[in-house]
């Protein structure tokens, strides 16, 4: 399995219920490189998907199909812990359970799964979401941005249309200044 952040662009059909337009659309998406050929082959065969993640060596990979089935992508030999982790996350098929959920930053519905650590991110703007709150599974994603970052992130997304993980310090400074939100950053060492 590849490291997180090792992606290959693949043209995929985004189902209407996951599309920000409300209609099925074709988009180029970053897919984990080690499963990109499999995703490409499924698309070529007319099989629609909702999400995919290779597991990054920490969990079995998975491809969630539009019809509700899940394909697990496993190494030739799995440890007992890996099998247990796969069972733990099985309940997240077709998650989030609330079909009206949208990303707080950009308004898209397209999540990339992070099964190994219970974190997913918006595929479009890279805002991170937790799948658990207080140790319990949740029906809708819980935004991991600190409260003071939410308004600047939404403002900056509307202006630059660039994933927040790729913003420079100057971009964040401009977003905070434009929204007049006071930054509660790290303490300066002295």
Q: In this model, does residue 90 exceed pLDDT 80?
A: no
**Both 154 and 94 in a single domain?**
no
Q: How many residues are listed for the chain in this entry? A: 190
2 found inside a domain: no
**Both 175 and 106 in a single domain?**
no
Integer-rounded Cα radius of gyration of the chain: 18
Q: In this model, does residue 186 exceed pLDDT 70?
A: no
**Both 63 and 16 in a single domain?**
yes
Mean pLDDT, range 91-119, rounded to an integer = 66
**Both 38 and 58 in a single domain?**
yes
Which residue(s) pair with 11 in the sheet?
A: 28
Q: Give the Cβ contact number of residue 174 at 10 Å.
A: 17
Q: What is the pLDDT of residue 39?
A: 92
**Both 139 and 155 in a single domain?**
no
| Between 188 and 18, residue with greater pLDDT | 18
93 found inside a domain: yes
**Both 16 and 65 in a single domain?**
yes
**Both 120 and 62 in a single domain?**
yes
| Between 16 and 85, residue with greater pLDDT | 16
**Both 31 and 122 in a single domain?**
yes
Q: What is the pLDDT of residues 4-59, one digit of tens each?
A: 668 899 999 888 877 778 888 898 988 988 899 999 999 988 888 888 888 777 66
Q: What is the pLDDT of residue 40?
A: 92
Q: Is-above-0.85 flag for pTM?
A: no
**Both 41 and 124 in a single domain?**
yes
Residues near 173 by beta carbon (within 8 Å), at least 6 away in sequence:
none
Report how many domains make up the chain. Answer: 2
Q: What is the pLDDT of residues 102-113, one digit of tens each?
A: 888 988 876 765
CA distance 154 to 138: 23
What is the C-alpha end-to-end distance of the chain, expressed in Å? 42
CA distance 140 to 81: 26
CA distance 104 to 163: 13
173 found inside a domain: yes
> How many helices (H) does the chain have, and how many strands (E)?
4, 9
Phi, psi of 15 (to 5 degrees): -60, 155
Domain containing residue 168: 147-179
* Cis check: omega of the bond before 82, within 30 degrees of 0: no
Per-residue confidence band for 153, with pLDDT thresholds at 50, 70 and 90: very high
**Both 83 and 127 in a single domain?**
yes
Mean pLDDT, range 59-82, rounded to an integer = 75
CA distance 157 to 175: 9
**Both 107 and 168 in a single domain?**
no
Q: What share of the chain is helix, strand, coil (3-state, %, to 5)?
A: 30, 25, 45
**Both 42 and 85 in a single domain?**
yes
């Amino acid at each position: 399995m590849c490291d997180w952040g090792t992606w290959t662009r693949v043209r995929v059909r985004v189902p209407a219920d996951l599309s920000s337009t409300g209609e099925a659309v074709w988009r180029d998406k970053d897919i984990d490189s080690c499963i990109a050929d499999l995703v490409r082959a499924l698309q070529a065969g007319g099989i629609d998907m909702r999400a995919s993640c290779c597991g990054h060596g920490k969990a079995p990979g998975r491809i969630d199909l539009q019809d509700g089935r899940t394909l697990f992508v496993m190494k030739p030999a799995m440890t007992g812990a890996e099998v247990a982790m796969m069972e733990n996350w099985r309940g997240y098929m077709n998650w989030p359970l609330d079909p009206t959920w949208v990303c707080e930053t950009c308004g898209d519905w397209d999540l990339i799964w992070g099964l190994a650590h219970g974190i997913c991110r918006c595929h479009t703007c890279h805002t991170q979401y937790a799948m658990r709150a207080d140790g319990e599974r949740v029906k809708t994603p819980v935004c991991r941005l600190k409260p003071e970052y939410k308004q600047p992130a939404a403002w900056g997304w509307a202006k630059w249309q660039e994933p927040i993980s790729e913003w420079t310090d100057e971009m964040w400074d401009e977003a905070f200044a434009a929204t007049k939100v006071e930054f509660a950053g790290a303490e300066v060492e002295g």
